[in-house]
Structure 1
Amino acid sequence: MRSDWTALPEHVGVAVADRVGGIVGVYPAPCGDHAEIASTVIGSTGTVFVKAAFSGPGVRSLRHEVAVTRAIDGFPPAVLWDFESDGWLVVGAEHLDGPHPDLSADSPDLDTLAATLTRLQETTAPDVRLYGPAGRLSFAHPAMDGDVLVHSDLNPANLILTPQGLRIVDWAYATKAAPWVELALLTQWLIGNGHTPAQAEDWLSQFPAWAGTDPKVLDDFAARNASKWATKSRQSTESWVHDLACWTHEWAAYRA
């Protein structure tokens, strides 16, 4: 659950202000819930994106994200500073200015996504603690094991088009797995952005990792992922959970 900036203890807010030359404005992020606070902070010396966590799970997640982000070049925003005070972990990161890509069928942004995915598919997982497939997804298959860096949540809100190219944020669930796992997890977001399952698979077929994966393995993944989200949807009233249940079901039904 996100909190207002005023939830920060006064001296923690002052410590942030000291790092940005005084706070001019604070603008909360419109989505996401991995940290209690996530805001764009405009200071007299520049703009940073600040995440802060206080709860045990929130602090562990944010600490993990910082470690992963610092171990990766190019894709995530750079971590500029971090500190802990009064139980809060506070992180200041590079502010990425730009829109989220349009992932609908025939969008020109798909070419930009493909170029970024090609590089990501070739990136070996860094030597830091990462999720494994079972820990990240709550199901596993031997073919999911691998040594590639997998973001595992490439929804449009985590993708930002900048003048320097497409950047990827929110690495809290970074995973070490086979490269096709990233593509399989992207399927639900392509369907959610207007692709039919057939269109989504046709677009994904440009990647060697997808083309080289046994269709029975993809069948198994689609069925298990849909089952997971169906279960979650019965236990939640959140609209995004029900959306994912719908989109993963569409893909699983197509492959059945």
Structure 2
Amino acid sequence: MRSEWTALPDAVTAEVSERVGGIIDVYPAPSGNHAEIASTVTGPDGKVFVKAASGDLSARSLRYELAATRAVAWYPPEVLWHFQVDDWLVVGVEHLVGPHPDLSPGSPDLDLLGVTLKGLQETPAPDGTWFTPSARVGFSHPAMDGGNLVHSDLNPANLIMTASGLRIVDWAWATRAAPWLELALLAQWLIGSGHAPGQAEEWLAQFAAWAATDRRALDDFASRNASKWSAKARQSSEIWVHDLAAWTGEWAAHRRG
């Protein structure tokens, strides 16, 4: 659950202030809920994006994110500093500026995503503790296991088009897995951006991991992922949950033929 900046203890805000040379402004992030605090902090030398967490689950997710952003070059924002005070884990990273990409059919932004994804598809998971595929998606299949670093939540809100290229934020669900899992989880966002399921699969076919994956593994993933989101939608009034239930359902129906 996202909290206001004022929820931080004075000792934490004092440490942040020292790190940025004095806090001028604080603007909360418009979306997301993995960290309890997520805000852009402006100091005399510019802006820093700050996340903070104290609860067990949110702190664990932030530790995963810290590990990913420190270990992987280029794709995540650069970690500038981090500290722990009064049971709060606080991380300051590079403030990225730019719009989110348009992932609709025919958009030139898809080419930028393709370039970024091809690099990420070749990135092994560094040593450390990461989510397993079954812990991440809620079901298991042997084909999902692997040694690659998978972001696992490439929705457009986690992609930022900067002057130097497409960057990926919010690594709280970083997972060690087979590279095709990243692509299978991206299918729902392509469908949500206007692709028919067949169009989404045609775009994903440019990646070697997609072509190499057993069709039965994809069928199983699509079916079980749709069932998961359908069950969630029956218990939730959140629009985004119902959207994911619809998009994953479309893909599963397509694969059933």
Q: Distance in 1 between matches of 2:126 and 2:30?
A: 30
Matched, 1:202 2:184: no
Q: Distance in 2 between matches of 1:92 and 1:177?
A: 27
Could you tell me which runs of 5 or more consecutive residues in structure 2 were left unpaired when the two chains were aligned.
none
Q: Name the amino acid aligned to 2:211.
A: A
Q: Name the amino acid aligned to 2:97.
A: D
Matched, 1:163 2:155: no
1:180 positional shift: 0.9
Query: Which secondary structure does the structure 2 equivalent of 1:57 belong to?
Result: helix
1:176 positional shift: 1.1
Query: Which secondary structure does the structure 2 equivalent of 1:52 belong to?
Result: strand
Query: Which secondary structure does the structure 2 equivalent of 1:139 belong to?
Result: coil
Query: Which secondary structure does the structure 1 equivalent of 2:152 belong to?
Result: coil
Q: Name the amino acid aligned to 2:232.
A: K
% identical aligned pairs: 68
Q: Name the amino acid aligned to 2:152.
A: S
Name the TM-score, length of structure 2 as normaliser: 0.97
Matches within 5 A, 1:239-254: 239-254=239-254
Q: Distance in 1 between matches of 2:77 and 2:15?
A: 21
Q: Distance in 2 between matches of 1:119 and 1:130?
A: 20
Aligned residues: 256
**2:177 matched to which residue of 1?**
177
1:177 positional shift: 1.1
**1:217 matched to which residue of 2?**
217
Can you list the C-alpha shifts for 1:216-253, whole angstroms capped at 9, x where unaligned? 21111100000111111112221111111110000001
1:10 positional shift: 2.1
Matches within 5 A, 1:37-186: 37-186=37-186
Q: Name the amino acid aligned to 2:244.
A: L
RMSD: 1.0
**2:238 matched to which residue of 1?**
238
Q: Distance in 2 between matches of 1:141 and 1:63?
A: 26
Q: Is the 8 A contact 1:68 1:128 kept in 2?
A: no
Query: Which secondary structure does the structure 2 equivalent of 1:134 belong to?
Result: helix
1:68 positional shift: 2.1
Name the TM-score, length of structure 1 as normaliser: 0.97
Q: Is the 8 A contact 1:71 1:128 kept in 2?
A: no
Q: Distance in 2 between matches of 1:144 and 1:206?
A: 19
Q: Name the amino acid aligned to 1:17.
A: S
Q: Name the amino acid aligned to 2:216.
A: K
Q: Is the 8 A contact 2:11 2:86 kept in 1?
A: no
